[in-house]
Amino acid sequence: MSHLYLTRKLMLTQQPEFLSAGGSNNIVPDLPRLRRMSSYRSGSLANSAFAEDNDVEDLEMLLEAYFMQLDGTHNKILSVMNIQLDNQRNELIQLQLTLTIASFAIALDTCIAGVFGMNIPCPLYNIDGIFSYFVGGTTGACILVYFMLLGYARWKKLLGS
pLDDT tens-digit map of 48-80:
444 556 677 887 888 899 999 999 999 999 999
Structural domain boundaries of the chain? Answer: 2-155
- Say if residues 157 and 101 touch (Cβ distance below 8 Å): no
- pLDDT bin (cut points 50, 70, 90) of residue 5 is low
Give me the pLDDT at residue 120, please. Answer: 76
Looking at per-residue pLDDT, the higher value among 123 and 65 belongs to 65
Distance, CA of 36 to CA of 21 (rounded, Å): 19
Lowest mean pLDDT among 43-47, 90-94, 138-142, 147-151: 43-47
User: Residues 145, 151, 153, CA angle at the centre, nearest 5°?
Assistant: 105
